[in-house]
């Protein structure tokens, strides 16, 4: 009964059966996943704290199903910066590549080459054009994220005034999709007194995001809020504003990790922001990739697979699997989260 951890995987079959007989869900079972799968995560940037949490979530999952995991990638989020890493992974005959794409198209020819050689490709966080992958593991419904950001900033601005967006790179598929829905949401009559004055790009680079924040404040003296739908951008904007005369006057919100944003919530710079758990995103993406590589799913809509502690997950339209709704963090709940 008290087997050492390395034996747990071998006992999974029996454990799953017993759990099923008892009518309870088997936790962290790796039903149908082959042992020894080589799965590589390619984040947007290797040193982005958000991507590190996501990759580690994926590596934890890979350990659970006894695969060989690793994370490799560029230090900048440039459109083509991931290409050389993909090429190396192809020559290494990885079983699956799990990538947060820096550009919807730039990586597609290389991912196609990988798929032609039998390597399974899953995008997570930031998608490619559908031709570049078999599945996309999305953090949350993109429309919900975009519209939710406007609802939140409108509340923080008291329903009127000018705001700017501080995004990641100009070609980031995830941010661009969210921004498209933000702009849609802004067309509703309840936002008629809110004006989006500028979309700036900090390239998911801390320094550039910091400088862009300064530029926005100088260019728009009546600015009431900055929405940064990127964990790098929101942290840099909050840092700049927390030590400037705009603190308390210009709201900072967007998508951030609770651990990076905690000090700015505590010092009054930030009232509320949103995110999901990046570790769970990586974890789900690893299970999706392993199931593809094991042949338990092929990527078709309606197929389901067992995603360990996240339970059974089903593939939706366009090969998309959604993790779940985002959480809104503020002074009342931020200390309940540690990521
Ligand atoms: C940054 C990256 C990532 C995005 C988060 C919210 O870390 O741009 O792709 O999902 O922010």
> Are residues 58 and 88 located together in one domain of the fold?
yes
**Whether 225 contacts 156, CB under 8 Å:** yes
Residue 14: inside a domain, yes or no? no
Instruction: Give the distance (Å) from ligand 1 centre to CA of residue 8.
Output: 34
Number of domains in the chain: 2
45 lines ligand 1 (CB under 6 A): no
> Are residues 167 and 228 located together in one domain of the fold?
yes
> Are residues 113 and 183 located together in one domain of the fold?
no
| Mutational pocket test of ligand 1: of 41, 44, 259, the residue with most ligand atoms within 8 Å of the beta carbon | 44
> Are residues 270 and 147 located together in one domain of the fold?
yes
Range of the structural domain that residue 262 is part of? 142-275
> Are residues 181 and 257 located together in one domain of the fold?
yes
- Mean pLDDT over residues 88-108, rounded? 98
Tens digit of each residue's pLDDT (9 = 90 or more) over 43-77? 999 999 999 999 999 999 999 999 999 999 999 99
Cα-Cα-Cα-Cα dihedral sign, residues 116, 282, 106, 103: positive
**How far apart are alpha carbons 207 and 233 in whole angstroms?**
9
> Are residues 108 and 231 located together in one domain of the fold?
no
**Is pLDDT above 70 for 115?**
yes
Residue 26: inside a domain, yes or no? no
Q: How many angstroms separate the Cα of 197 from the Cα of each of 79, 201, 216, 253, 303?
A: 26, 14, 10, 16, 43
| Mutational pocket test of ligand 1: of 81, 174, 278, 279, the residue with most ligand atoms within 8 Å of the beta carbon | 174
Residue 228: inside a domain, yes or no? yes
Over the chain, what is the mean pLDDT?
92
**Whether 140 contacts 325, CB under 8 Å:** yes
> Are residues 186 and 255 located together in one domain of the fold?
yes
Element holding 239 (H helix, E strand): helix 231-242
Q: Which of 236, 258, 275 is the last residue of a domain?
A: 275
> Are residues 127 and 149 located together in one domain of the fold?
no
Angle (CA) 105 107 112, round 5°: 100
> Are residues 226 and 297 located together in one domain of the fold?
no
The model's pTM is 0.91
> Are residues 287 and 175 located together in one domain of the fold?
no
Residue nearest to atom 8 of ligand 1 (CA): 230
CA nearest neighbour of 297 among 128, 138, 135, 139:
135
Phi, psi of 192 (to 5 degrees): -65, -20
Q: Residue 53 belongs to a domain with what CATH number?
A: 3.40.50.2300
User: For position 8, what pLDDT does the model report?
Assistant: 32
Residue 310: inside a domain, yes or no? yes
């Amino acid at each position: 009964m008290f087997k050492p951890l390395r034996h747990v995987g071998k006992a999974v079959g029996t454990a799953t059966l017993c759990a099923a007989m008892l009518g309870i869900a088997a936790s962290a079972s790796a039903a149908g996943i082959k042992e020894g799968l080589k799965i590589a995560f390619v984040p947007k940037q290797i040193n982005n704290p958000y991507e590190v949490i996501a990759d580690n979530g994926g590596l934890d999952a890979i350990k659970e199903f006894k695969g060989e995991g690793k994370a490799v990638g560029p230090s900048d989020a440039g459109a083509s910066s991931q290409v050389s890493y993909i090429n190396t992974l192809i020559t290494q005959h990885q079983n699956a590549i799990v990538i947060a794409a820096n550009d919807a198209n730039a990586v597609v020819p290389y991912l196609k080459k990988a798929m032609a050689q039998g390597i399974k490709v899953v995008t997570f966080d930031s998608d490619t054009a559908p031709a570049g992958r078999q599945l996309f593991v999305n953090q949350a419904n993109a429309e919900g994220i975009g519209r939710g950001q406007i609802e939140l900033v409108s509340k923080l601005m008291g329903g009127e005034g000018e705001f700017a967006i501080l995004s990641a790179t100009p070609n980031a598929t995830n941010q661009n999709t969210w921004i498209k829905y933000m702009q849609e949401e802004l067309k509703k009559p309840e936002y008629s007194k809110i004006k989006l004055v500028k979309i700036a790009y900090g390239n998911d680079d801390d320094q550039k995001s910091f400088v862009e924040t300064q530029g926005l404040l100088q260019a728009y003296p009546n600015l009431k809020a900055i929405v940064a739908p990127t964990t790098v951008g929101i942290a840099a904007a909050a840092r700049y504003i927390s030590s400037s005369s705009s603190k308390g006057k210009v709201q900072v919100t967007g998508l951030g990790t609770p651990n990076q944003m905690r000090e700015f919530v505590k010092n009054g710079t930030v009232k509320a922001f949103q995110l999901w758990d990046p570790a769970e995103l990586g974890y789900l993406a690893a299970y999706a990739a392993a199931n593809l590589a094991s042949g338990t799913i092929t990527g078709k809509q309606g197929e389901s697979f067992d995603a360990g502690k996240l339970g059974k997950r089903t593939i939706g339209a366009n090969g998309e699997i959604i993790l779940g709704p985002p959480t809104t963090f503020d002074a009342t709940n931020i200390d309940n989260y540690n990521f």
